[in-house]
Amino acid sequence: NAGVTQTPKFRVLKTGQSMTLLCAQDMNHEYMYWYRQDPGMGLRLIHYSVGEGTTAKGEVPDGYNVSRLKKQNFLLGLESAAPSQTSVYFCASSLTGTGGRSPLHFGNGTRLTVT
Amino acid sequence: RKEVEQDPGPFNVPEGATVAFNCTYSNSASQSFFWYRQDCRKEPKLLMSVYSSGNEDGRFTAQLNRASQYISLLIRDSKLSDSATYLCVVNNPGGYQKVTFGTGTKLQVIP
């Protein structure tokens, strides 16, 4: 099993450009999440999904959109990239919600730089 | 007060030493607690959950102190391979699918 796979691993964008980060999991997990990690700050939740066809806002959703058309995939979109979105992005999945004891399984991250 | 606070370190310890990290949390209603390990430029990985009665996994011991609202991680007989950043993670109850991550404590085990 591959677990959680993210693409791309690295990307450089110019301000105003758009892109989509792809996340796929093969563990049949219901819950999927997008986090960003910045120096000196803990991982922060951008958006999450509790099942196919559902999405919800997390802690820092502005400037991002998501879609979960298939259970195994969770896409994160940046419509008009800004330098403040320079970060490392992690996708994660869990069997049940994070309110319980279900651990998060992370992808290996996408390093995004916006110039 | 931050929701989850950790000493950022770095903790520089010799091989074989015992080291302990604490993590304080602000929400007294939190129910689930975890320690994750993150290697440099890698994704976080679950190290262990923290149970009310405390739990041990080999050289690692996790404890929860609800009265003082902190969790701890003890690593005995440190190995070079233990060098990493250790993230404290606490759930936020209230129907919001969110856990709060600490900023992490960096451990460097020295030969």
Q: Average pLDDT of A80-100? A: 89
The confidence score (pLDDT) of residue B3 equals 87
Inter-residue contact A50 to A56 (CB < 8 Å): yes
pLDDT band at residue A1, thresholds of 50, 70 and 90?
low
Among B49, B97, B102, beta carbon nearest to A101: B49
Give CA–CA dist B59/B76, Å, rounded: 5
Categorize the per-residue pLDDT at B36 as very low, low, confident or very high, splitting at 50, 70 and 90: very high
Do the Cβ atoms of B44 and A90 come within 8 Å?
A: yes
Residue B96 has pLDDT above 60, yes or no: no
Contact A46/A76 with Cβ under 8 angstroms? yes
pLDDT higher at B61 or B51: B61
The residues that bridge with A5 in the sheet, in sequence order, are A24
Backbone angles phi, psi at B65, to 5 degrees: -120, 100
Asked if the peptide bond before residue B111 counts as cis, ω within 30 degrees of 0, the response is no
Q: What number of CA atoms fall less than 13 Å from residue B46's CA on the CB side?
A: 17
The token duo for A11 is 């990307």
